Amino acid sequence: MTTRLQNYINGKFVDARSGRFSDVVDPSTGEVYAQAPLSGQEDVDAAYEAAAAAFETWGQTTPGERANLLLKIADAIEARADEINQAECRNTGKPYARMSEDETPVAADHFRFFAGAARTLEGPTAGEFLAEHTSVIRHEPVGVIGQVTPWNYPMMMAVWKIAPALAAGNTIVLKPSDTTPVSTVKLAEIIGDVLPAGVFNVVTGDRETGSLVVSHPTASMVAITGSVGAGMAVAKSAADDLKRVHLELGGKAPVVVFDDVKDIKATAEAIAGAGLYNAGQDCTAACRVLVQESIHAEFAEALKEAAAATVTGTGEDAFYGPLNNPNQLARVQGFFERLPEHATVLTGGERVGEAGYFFAPTVVDGLKQDDEMIQTEVFGPVITVQTFTDEADALAKANGVQYGLSGSVWTSDHGRAMRMSKRLDFGVVWVNTHIPFVSEMPHGGFKHSGYGKDLSVFGLHDYTRVKHVMHYIGE
């Protein structure tokens, strides 16, 4: 039976004005199981109209009032976790354990963190910086926020945007990816039971719908997670109206492994897990290993064994599921069709099965710095291996890409870890680990990986504007 989804506008579920729908496919089987509205200009206009009207009151609420409602959303997410897990797993093919253990509890935690952060915004102390004048700094909500979320973590990336925007007093029009709208619509149902009508709105659709959302004149700010190309298009569109922009884009994380790591096998296993998690469909994935020449052979073999032992599929023992859609499967396969002769596929490099969009855990060795697979985000369960000689060579290769989102350093030398983390040109750097996130710490990149921060008080600040108010206090 095919499920019909609806938009969520002004506190109600409604069909697109056009009556048009697009198919939603289960990537584990390749079969259509739902349909989502193809929203057009009228739908987007209605969502923004509702958000603008709701902002008149929501923007005036106190931090404590907003915090109480965000805490209720967190409780509701926990209470209805199984519904969210089922929706996300069907729509993305993720193993249920990954959602139930790694994502849904964290989503609730994010709402709780921002509930607290809303009440603790800090700034310069009020004072007299000019004789007979007192200055005060106000952190105010930006207004109506247009948001676009990706298909790799549909629920989690929505939460990363929704929670800080609401905490700061903004209202939202959110458009999920056309291939993964189901869990976002489920979130709208859960959040809608808590918030006033119009504060949070969801319109589903294709790229044209997304363009309408980010270019709409009512939006004071647009925030997206997506590809570098999508981010550039949004920035250009926003420039026409001088909108604020928050961009979390692609990545090509360097994983720098020095020859003084304490345990080569354990290090390889940890990196394999961080590179193959979510089928490598993660902008922070440990996808680009740089290993010191003296341990290259031993490490590459250990990484190959760890990857080869990783299970993909739909069973309880599966570590990761399918790629998201047939276009992404074809894209990943294309890298191997163009693989240079000097590269060696140590394991994987091929599709798994005929049903769905599964791809084998893969390690590719012998690549050079200017190879496509090094310079371009694969976004699949593919880990590349290069060698380096010393710290300077490692830094040159690690930083020698257009991306600047995340990276990691693996060493037992504390001074080396400090030097490398200082000079790696990435917004997040891990030492002897890779991929953990916490609500209290920021995530965001440099260069072509975008700008702005998710999570932490920095993420909350991104959804506020700063106003200086000066009072004359002379007689």
Q: Which residues are catalytic?
A: 248
Angle at 405 (CA atoms; ends 335, 211), nearest 5 degrees:
75
Q: How far apart are CA 183 and CA 428, in angstroms?
A: 28
> Cβ neighbours of residue 257 under 8 Å, at least 6 residues apart?
267, 271, 289, 290, 291, 292, 295, 299, 410
Buried b (16+ CB within 10 A) or exposed e, 77-88: beebbeebbbbb
Q: How far apart are CA 356 and CA 57, in angstroms?
A: 47
Pairing of strands 3-4, 244-248: unpaired
Residue type, 190: I
Tell me if 35 sits within 8 A of 15, measured CB to CB. no
Tell me if 467 sits within 8 A of 130, measured CB to CB. no
Q: Hey, what's the torsion of the CAs at 181, 184, 186, 192, to 10 degrees?
A: -140
Task: Give one DSSP letter per residue of 1-36, joined into a string.
Answer: --EE--EEETTEEE--TT--EEEEEETTTTEEEEEE
Residue 128: φ, ψ to 5°: -100, 95
Buried b (16+ CB within 10 A) or exposed e, 16-47: beeeebbebbbbbeeeeebbbbbbbeebbebb
Q: Which uninterrupted H or E stretch holds 444?
A: none
Residue 464: φ, ψ to 5°: -125, 160
Paired residues of 467 in beta bridges: 138
Q: How far apart are CA 459 and CA 441, in angstroms?
A: 9
Buried b (16+ CB within 10 A) or exposed e, 58-75: bbebebeebbebbbbbbe
Residue 17: φ, ψ to 5°: -60, -30
